[in-house]
């Protein structure tokens, strides 16, 4: 049996001190290289190192995998078509026709009335006003960059901008001209137009025609491109987008927006069903492309709109029913992708979409040729 000896108080204190010293040496030995609480110099060094690392990451900025950007493309200077070779005379004529309200029944509506080139190619209304202030059936989309779309109109009933140019002039709700012969009669009544058509179509037997009117307007519209900061970024300029815009782009890529919005116009290259992932929960009577094809499979199918200049071209959707881009993004994520976005995610995506706002070409409304003595008068009926 071991006999325990009682230590005196001084001896006990000495023993405790020895144990503490051994424990401190053991702590230092097993934690070599780590921050010591009793060494303020080491602590300051670690704090400084963290700050330097954070600053380095800040300088590096947000990086996007550039291989993912192959699904987009830079805007060209103009959208060329082998079916409509441009010339200065043809583009100039098309510009005049675009602004000329005499191509409407009451001579008060022009192409520019609904597609205002000073307002990013739209009029800002949910639906546009036409002849006798009638409301059109759908929202008027922007004409800028439209020549890069695979079809025209929300329902794709026109193959290109040349075919599209023929539609509104004869539409009874829009410009309401009786027929193409009536349009040609107006053009032939204006001597200066007769000369302009001859210069634009020198090989035509009958230069003044409805087909040539469409070709001229189309040639002009093919020049309406709006290069944006995003184009500079696609070309390799990392500084063209700030970190917040890159953050939004990264979310745009990862969320699934590129399921529909790709290509040179970031959209405008396919049809898609409204309510693809979750049925559209708002009143809708417009059947979309079904009105053209009469096929049930095309019910609620609409051309996917371009996102270029989208921050400037509201209100949104085929009926102009949504006033803000934030709400449009929220609804698209919900109904097309089946995702509920948080407020900060919506904000980030909208920030990126702002980088698609381009520079408008400098277009001064042209001087229109004066009416001739035989020019038909406005018809208010």
Catalytic residues: 174
Collapse the DSSP code of 183 into the 3-class scheme (helix H, G, I; strand E, B; otherwise coil) and give the result.
helix
Alpha-carbon span 139 to 68, nearest angstrom: 32
State the greatest distance between any 2 C-alpha atoms of the chain, in Å, as a whole number: 137
* CA dihedral sign, ordered 331, 336, 338, 343: negative
Which pair of tokens denotes residue 208? 């003044």
Alpha-carbon span 310 to 314, nearest angstrom: 7
Which pair of tokens denotes residue 75? 């805007």
Nearest to 110 by CA among 1, 213, 28: 213
Collapse the DSSP code of 288 into the 3-class scheme (helix H, G, I; strand E, B; otherwise coil) and give the result.
strand
CA angle 209, 202, 200 (to 5 degrees): 65
Alpha-carbon span 175 to 182, nearest angstrom: 12
Contact 358, 240 (CB under 8 A): no
ω into 368 cis (within 30 of 0): no
Nearest to 245 by CA among 227, 233, 254, 236: 233
Q: What is the CA radius of gyration of the chain?
A: 33
- Residue 303: count other Cβ atoms within 10 Å of its Cβ: 24
Q: How far, in whole angstroms, is CA 134 from its chain's centroid?
A: 28
DSSP secondary structure letters along 234-266: HTT-GGGS-HHHHHHHHHHHHHTGGGT--BTTT
Alpha-carbon span 98 to 218, nearest angstrom: 10
Q: How far is CA 295 from CA 62, 172, 259, in A?
A: 46, 25, 24
CA atoms within 13 A on the CB side of 303: 25
Q: How far, in whole angstroms, is CA 214 from its chain's centroid?
A: 26
Phi and psi (nearest 5°) for 269?
-125, 10
């Amino acid at each position: 049996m071991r006999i325990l000896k009682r230590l005196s108080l001084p001896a006990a204190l000495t023993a405790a001190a020895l144990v503490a010293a051994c424990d401190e040496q053991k702590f230092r030995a097993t934690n070599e290289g780590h921050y010591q609480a009793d060494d303020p110099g080491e602590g300051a060094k670690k704090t400084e190192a963290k700050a330097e690392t954070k600053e380095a990451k800040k300088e590096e900025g947000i990086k996007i995998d550039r291989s993912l950007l192959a699904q987009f493309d830079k805007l060209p200077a103009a959208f060329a078509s082998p079916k409509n070779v441009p010339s200065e005379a043809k583009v100039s004529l098309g510009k005049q026709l675009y602004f000329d309200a005499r191509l409407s029944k009451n001579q008060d509506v022009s192409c520019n009335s609904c597609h205002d080139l000073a307002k990013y190619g739209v009029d800002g209304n949910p639906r546009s006003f036409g002849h006798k202030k009638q409301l059109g059936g759908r929202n008027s989309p922007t004409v800028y960059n439209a020549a890069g779309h695979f079809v025209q109109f929300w329902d794709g009933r026109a193959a290109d901008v040349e075919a599209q140019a023929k539609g509104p002039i004869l539409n009874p709700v829009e410009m309401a001209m009786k027929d193409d012969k009536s349009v040609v009669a107006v053009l032939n009544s204006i001597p200066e137009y007769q000369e302009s058509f001859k210069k634009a179509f020198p090989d035509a037997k009958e230069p003044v025609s409805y087909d040539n009117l469409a070709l001229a307007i189309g040639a002009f519209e093919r020049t309406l491109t709006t290069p944006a900061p995003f184009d500079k970024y696609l070309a390799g300029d990392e500084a063209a987008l700030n970190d917040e815009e890159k953050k939004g782009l990264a979310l745009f890529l990862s969320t699934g927006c590129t399921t529909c919005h790709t290509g040179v116009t970031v959209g405008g290259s396919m049809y898609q069903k409204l309510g693809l992932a979750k049925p559209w929960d708002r009143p809708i009577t417009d059947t979309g492309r079904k009105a053209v094809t009469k096929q049930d499979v095309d019910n609620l199918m609409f051309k996917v709109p371009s996102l270029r200049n989208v921050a400037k071209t509201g209100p949104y959707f085929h009926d102009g029913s949504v006033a803000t881009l934030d709400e449009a993004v929220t609804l698209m994520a919900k109904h097309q992708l089946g995702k509920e976005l948080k407020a900060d995610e919506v904000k980030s995506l909208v920030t990126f979409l702002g980088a698609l706002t381009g520079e408008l070409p400098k277009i001064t409304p042209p001087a229109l040729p004066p009416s001739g003595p035989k020019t038909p008068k406005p018809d208010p009926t």
